Amino acid sequence: MAEPIKDKVAIVGMGCTKFGERWDADIQDMIAEATYEALDDAGVPLKDIEAAWLGAQWGSQIVEGGVVTGTLLSSALQTQYIPVTRVENACGTGAESLRGATFALASKAYDLVMVVGVEKCKDMGFGGLPSVWIGRWEPVYGAFGTGPGRYAMAATAYFAKYGLSNEDGKRMLAEISVKSHYYGAKNPKAHLRREVTVEQVMNAPIISWPLGLFDCCGVTDGASAAILCRAEDANKYRKDYVTIKAFGMAASPGWGKERDDYDFTYWDATQAAARSAYAEAGIKDPRKELDVVELHDCFTIAEVIASESMFICDEGKFKEQMTDKRAYYHDGEMPVNTSGGLKSFGHPIGASGCREVYEIYKQIQGKVEEPSRQIKDARMGLAHNQGGHPGKFVCGCTIVGAP
Amino acid sequence: MAGIVSYGAYIPMYRLSRAILGQVWGGGGKGEKAIANWDEDSITLGVEAGMDCLQGQDRQSVDALFFASTTSPFREKQSASIVAAALDLREDIVASDFGNSLRAGTLALRSALDAVKAGSAKNVLVIVSDCRLPAPNSAFEPLFGDAATALLIGKDNIAAEIEASYYMSSEFIDIWRLEGDILPRTWEERFVLDEGYEPHMTKAFKALFKTREASAKDFAKAAFYAPNARSHATVAKNAGLDAKTQVQDPMFDSVGITGATAAILTLIAVLEEAQAGDKVLLGNYGDGADAHIISVTPAVENLRHKRGVKGHLNSKVMLENYGKYVKFRNLMTFEETPMTRPRTSLPAMWRDRNWQYRCHGHKCQSCGKVQFPFQRRCMYCQAGPESLMEVPLAEKKGYLATYSMDERAAIVDPPNVLAAVNFNDGGRIFSQMTDRDVNTIKVGMPMELTFRKIHDALGVHNYSWKCRPVRV
The verdict on whether A384 is a catalytic residue reads no
Indicate whether A137 pLDDT > 90.
no
CATH code: domain B3-328 is 3.40.47.10
pLDDT at B455: 92
- Measured CA to CA, the distance from residue A249 to residue A108 in angstroms comes to 22
Contact between residue A214 and residue A228 where contact means Cβ atoms under 8 Å apart: no
* Reported confidence tier of residue A62, pLDDT bands at 50, 70, 90: low
pLDDT tens-digit readout, B247-264 = 999 999 999 999 999 999
The verdict on whether A347 is a catalytic residue reads yes
Residues forming CATH 2.40.50 domain(s) in chain B: 346-359+394-469
Nearest by CB to A148, from B408, B427, B454: name it.
B408
Nearest CA in chain B to A206: B407
Angle value at C-alpha A44, between A43 and A45, nearest 5 degrees: 130
Task: Check residue A216 and report its DSSP letter.
Answer: B
Nearest by CB to B379, from A146, A208, A258: name it.
A258
DSSP H or E run through A268: helix A268-281
Residues of chain A contacting residue B371, judged by C-beta atoms under 8 Å apart: 255, 258-259
pLDDT at B27: 85
**b/e burial code for range A166-178 (CB count within 10 A of at least 16 → b):** eeebbbbbbbbbb
DSSP string, A281-350: HT-S-HHHH-SEEE---SBHHHHHHHHHHTTSS-TT-HIIIIITTTTTSTTSSS-B-TT-HHHHT---GG
Question: Which amino acid, B57?
Answer: Q
Nearest CA in chain B to A61: B340
Indicate whether A66 pLDDT > 70.
no
Residues of chain A contacting residue B408, judged by C-beta atoms under 8 Å apart: 127-128, 146, 148, 207-208
**Reported CATH class of domain B346-359+394-469:** mainly beta
Indicate whether B76 pLDDT > 50.
yes
* Reported confidence tier of residue B340, pLDDT bands at 50, 70, 90: low
The fraction of chain B above a pLDDT of 70, given in percent, is 99
Contact between residue A248 and residue A396 where contact means Cβ atoms under 8 Å apart: yes
Chain A, chain B: beta-carbon pairs less than 8 Å apart? 142
Interface residue B424 vs chain A (CB under 8 A): no
Indicate whether A130 pLDDT > 50.
yes
Angle value at C-alpha B163, between B161 and B164, nearest 5 degrees: 145
- Which residue from A258, A234, A259 is spatially nearest to A244, judged by alpha carbons? A234
ipTM: 0.94
pLDDT at A237: 97
Contact between residue A118 and residue A30 where contact means Cβ atoms under 8 Å apart: yes
**b/e burial code for range A150-163 (CB count within 10 A of at least 16 → b):** bbbbbbbbbbbebe
Residues of chain B contacting residue A163, judged by C-beta atoms under 8 Å apart: none
pLDDT at A133: 47
- Measured CA to CA, the distance from residue A135 to residue A139 in angstroms comes to 4
pLDDT tens-digit readout, B109-141 = 999 999 999 999 999 999 999 999 999 999 999
Residues of chain A contacting residue B443, judged by C-beta atoms under 8 Å apart: 156-157, 160
Task: Check residue A19 and report its DSSP letter.
Answer: P
Q: Tell me how close the Cα of A389 comes to any Cα of chain B, in angstroms.
A: 13
Q: What residues contact A102, with CB distance under 8 A and at least 6 apart?
A: A5, A8, A9, A228, A244, A247
Catalytic residue (one of A181, A191, A330, A347): A347
Residues of chain A contacting residue B369, judged by C-beta atoms under 8 Å apart: 260
Indicate whether A64 pLDDT > 60.
no
Residues forming CATH 3.40.47.10 domain(s) in chain B: 3-328
pLDDT tens-digit readout, B345-357 = 899 999 999 999 9
pLDDT at B69: 98
pLDDT at B16: 98
Average pLDDT over residues A102-126: 93
Q: What residues contact B285, with CB distance under 8 A and at least 6 apart?
A: B102, B103, B197, B200, B201, B204, B224, B225, B226, B227
Q: What residues contact B65, with CB distance under 8 A and at least 6 apart?
A: B80, B83, B84, B87, B89, B93, B94, B95, B96, B124, B125, B127
pLDDT at A61: 60
* Reported confidence tier of residue A136, pLDDT bands at 50, 70, 90: low
**Across the interface, do A156 and B464 touch by the CB < 8 Å criterion?**
no
Nearest by CB to B348, from A127, A138, A145: name it.
A138
